A and B are shown apart, each in its own frame.
Chain A
Amino acid sequence: GQNIDQPTEMTATEGAIVQINCTYQTSGFNGLFWYQQHAGEAPTFLSYNVLDGLEEKGRFSSFLSRSKGYSYLLLKELQMKDSASYLCAAYNFNKFYFGSGTKLNVKP
């Protein structure tokens, strides 16, 4: 079976750093993706990890530990526009198994 867990909701302050965790248990694994989704809009790709370690893309970084079935998305210098849902997805040949998403509220 597939099981992707992430916190339901988080709140952080503008300018701060926030870490959104994701744990996964999947039969077969080819990568871990992070998407951002604003309410009523389609998911947009943020980052992905195939190998263990940290991938950095500007204000966003993502980390993967395959042995622990664990990933996190790190957002730095938070901006109000970062208020959105963040979806963790485990990928296995054509199929994305999405977590339920973490709703991030950024406050002034």
Chain B
Amino acid sequence: DTEVTQTPKHLVMGMTNKKSLKCEQHMGHRAMYWYKQKAKKPPELMFVYSYEKLSINESVPSRFSPECPNSSLLNLHLHALQPEDSALYLCASSQDGGRQETQYFGPGTRLLVL
């Protein structure tokens, strides 16, 4: 099973809302990632969790708040977003973030901020 699941598939929110994106994998992977992808652009790394600890934050604004409750789950809490934050948010996982790693992507959450 090489599946990463994400919910919801689509999300529309206002700039004053608080919402959360969820990601789950049951491959025993210990590294999990959040990416943001705008249309016709490559994915941009946002956060990396390794063994449930935040290891990389790519200078992401604080209105995005990641959380890793356990090794299978990764959340992204959203608050006071801007319209320019509308994008496809991709979760990925890999074995442990080591030297030779394949990242497996979830289907993404398409977010629209109004």
Contacts and interface: CB of A to CB of B under 8 A. Distances in A.
Interface of A: 30-31, 33, 35, 40-45, 48, 50, 87, 89, 91, 93-96, 98-101
Contacts of A99: 42
Nearest to B48: A94
B100 A31 contact: yes
Interface residues of B, number: 26
Q: Tell which of B55, B90, B102, B104 has the most Cβ of chain A within 10 Å.
A: B102
A6 B66 CA distance: 32
B45 A96 contact: yes
Given A42-B90, A43-B43, A101-B42, A96 B105 contact: no
Contacts of A98: 42-44
23 contacts: A30-B100, A31-B100, A35-B105, A40-B110, A41-B107, A41-B108, A42-B105, A42-B107, A43-B90, A45-B102, A45-B103, A45-B104, A48-B100, A87-B42, A91-B101, A94-B48, A94-B55, A96-B43, A96-B45, A96-B103, A100-B42, A101-B40, A101-B42
A95 B90 contact: no
B108 A42 contact: yes
Contact of B31 (A31, A89, A91, A94): A94
Across the A-B interface, the 4 shortest Cβ-Cβ residue pairs: A98-B42, A42-B105, A94-B97, A94-B48
A100 B41 contact: yes
Contacts, number: 55
B42 A93 contact: no
Contacts of A94: 31, 48, 50, 55-56, 97, 101
A10 to B, nearest CB: 15
Nearest to A30: B99
Q: Tell which of B43, B55, B98 has the most Cβ of chain A within 10 Å.
A: B43
Interface in B28-85: 31, 40-45, 48, 50, 55-56
